[in-house]
Amino acid sequence: DAMVIQNPRYQVTQFGKPVTLSCSQTLNHNVMYWYQQKSSQAPKLLFHYYDKDFNNEADTPDNFQSRRPNTSFCFLDIRSPGLGDAAMYLCATSRDKRGNADTQYFGPGTRLTVL
């Protein structure tokens, strides 16, 4: 029944060691988002894909990259994780990014620890 799936749920990496988080969806939604959420804070949008069109937020560090090989899958790559990148990473999808009624559906998140 899960509609937005994230793997792994918990990821531990070492300082500077590249890491990839994955997200898949069964909703066939056009838009996929990646958010970073630090403890007791609101989610912060890193970037999103509208179909194959990549949209980066202006303040997203270059250290964060994303790939969307097909409609169902989206990956978040952190090239050189720093201690400040330890956070919950949430993937979300929505049907369309046009319009103010577009609801985002979230996955369970991946909690990243950087040692």
Residues near other proteins (CB under 8 A): 40-43, 45, 55, 88, 90, 92, 97-109, 111
Produce one character per residue of 82-114: b if its CB has 16 or more CB atoms within 10 Å, e if not: eeebbbbbbbbbbbebeeeeeebebbebbebeb
**Nearest distance, CB of residue 16 and other proteins, angstroms:** 25
Q: Which is nearer to other proteins, 77 or 102 (CB)?
A: 102
At 49, phi and psi to the nearest 5? Answer: -115, 130
Provide φ and ψ at 70, rounded to 5°: -155, 180
- Closest approach of other proteins to the CB of residue 99, in Å: 7
Nearer to other proteins, 75 or 105 (CB): 105
Strand pairing class (10-13; 110-114): parallel
Residue 79 or 97: the one with the smaller Cβ distance to other proteins is: 97
CB of 38 to other proteins, least distance (A): 12
